[in-house]
Amino acid sequence: MMMDSFSQKKEHIPFLQKISRNVHPAHTLALSFLMIIILGTILLSLPWSCAEGTLSFLDALFTATSATCVTGLIVVQTGEKFTQFGQIVILSLIQIGGLGIMTFSTLFAYLIAGRLSIRGHVIAEESIGRGPLPHVGRLLLFIVLGTFVVEAIGGLILSLRFSADYPPGYAFFLGFFHSISAFCNAGFSLFPNSLVDYRNDPIVNLTIMMLIIIGGLGFWVLFDLKNIRGPRGLRALTMHSKIVLTMTAILIGTGFVGIMLLEWNNTLADLSLSGKILSAAFQSVTSRTAGFNTIPIENLTNSTLLLLIIFMMIGASPGSCGGGIKTTTFGVLMAMIFSRLRDQQQVRLFNRGVPETIISKSIGIAFFWLVAVTSVSMLLLVSEHPGGPHELGRTLFIETIFEAFSAMGTVGLSMGLTPFLTGIGKVMIILLMYIGRIGPVTIALAIAVGKPLRIRLAEEKFMVG
């Protein structure tokens, strides 16, 4: 009997190994986020997570998804509805979701074993958002330790500032909550109006802005900047880092000028010149992925709202805590358009040619992103305003589009529609937040079936445009 049992177990081992080998890293990454969301939903549904009563399952699922996907959209006020236990659960989901559960698990495997398997390398690369890495173990260690160091510095600065307004213990909690939320580009705040009350405070604004920028650059760029000085002196940055840093600077500058011009006589009208500059700069930085706000979003002009929608679509950079199509994708698309307008056969960036595979991937990501957010926007318009003339739902139109782009870009900015969504509307926003955090490429790989075709068919030209 014992021999038969041993034989049966032995027969099952190759089968289990075969299953493990056939699980694509994209599946592992997608399922890891799903598991954390489910665990967070259960914890937030517990009675001691809420200050009064309990949270419905759908609202708990929405909050857990928003925290894990570092979005920041809320259906209930975080600082009022949740106890400190519930707020710690949300903060933990933000930290795990920001870095990625696979980053933590792969790092632990590396620390224990001293090396990573081939599969571990692939999973880590999927999680970080970059191709083959020679020192993935060191990079993971740098990511986790660097994250904690930056968040600790930001937390201490904010804690000292908040201690002027709150008791030391609560000020400490406020400081670290907002520091982690900012670095992970989550946008969750314990204040009912985000950071509007601190819009004239340079310490809070500049600290949050720096945390958002650092967290949104991407871990590979930070790793590249750290190692810019080698044994033979300064070395050149990689092309990836050059594109990210250039696009980030251009977008922040463009957003700052745009918001200043469009909101000068509107939401910025009552502020001093320094207040106008600080508010415009802050909103430019946070609008692409973080979700904090120091000016009321619902009071912005339609032109500013459109600008923010474009920014939310572009998002942060690959391998970061933020969402969107990413700055590098947008940079490649812009370079492709300029090259085609100049009738250049090769797309170029920083005196280097861009491979056709990257151009095709960029087009695919942008198209997938737009199709997903447009489809859900249409369904939201149906579910939230069924029937009736457009005059009655004119305001709802821009609110719905804004909310959908904010969810897909994992931004978290809101015109106030989210708490009033129907059950169907909440489910669709949950779906968008999940897709936006996982990323179009991971989703496409996770749902892909069959083997890629190796046969190339004959080509035939036809008219387009």
Are the C-beta atoms of residues 328 and 439 closer than 8 Å to each other?
A: no
CB atoms within 10 A of CB 202: 12
Residue 395: predicted pLDDT? 76
User: What distance in Å separates the CA atoms of residue 98 and residue 341, rounded to the nearest whole number?
Assistant: 39
Strands 233-234, 229-230: pairing is antiparallel
Q: What is the pLDDT of residues 154-182, one digit of tens each?
A: 999 999 999 999 999 999 999 999 999 99
User: What distance in Å separates the CA atoms of residue 140 and residue 145, rounded to the nearest whole number?
Assistant: 9
pTM of the model as a whole: 0.86
Summary mean pLDDT of the chain = 83
| Coil/strand/helix, residue 28 | helix
Q: What is the pLDDT of residues 212-230, one digit of tens each?
A: 999 999 877 888 888 776 5
Q: What is the pLDDT of residues 62-114, one digit of tens each?
A: 999 999 999 999 999 999 999 999 999 999 999 988 876 556 555 544 454 45
Whether pLDDT at 4 is above 80: no
CB atoms within 10 A of CB 395: 12
Cβ within 8 Å of residue 322, ≥6 positions away = 70, 185, 215, 216, 288, 289, 290, 315, 316, 410
Whether pLDDT at 122 is above 70: no
Are the C-beta atoms of residues 186 and 70 closer than 8 Å to each other?
A: yes
Residue 361: predicted pLDDT? 87
Q: What is the pLDDT of residues 291-339, one digit of tens each?
A: 899 999 999 999 999 999 999 999 998 878 788 999 999 999 999 999 8
C-alpha angle 312/315/317, rounded to 5°? 175
Residue 16 pLDDT grade (very low, low, confident, very high; cuts 50, 70, 90): very low
| First-last CA distance in the chain | 73
C-alpha angle 101/102/103, rounded to 5°? 90
User: What distance in Å separates the CA atoms of residue 258 and residue 19, rounded to the nearest whole number?
Assistant: 53
Are the C-beta atoms of residues 247 and 186 closer than 8 Å to each other?
A: no
Mean pLDDT to the nearest integer, 238-264: 94
Whether pLDDT at 126 is above 60: no
Hey, which of 114-123, 140-149, 228-237 has the most confident mean pLDDT?
140-149
Residue 247: predicted pLDDT? 95
DSSP string, 277-315: HHHHHHHHHHTTTT---SS-GGGS-HHHHHHHHHHHHH-
Residue 349, beta-bridge partner list: 352
- The 8-class DSSP code of residue 47 comes to G
| Coil/strand/helix, residue 270 | coil
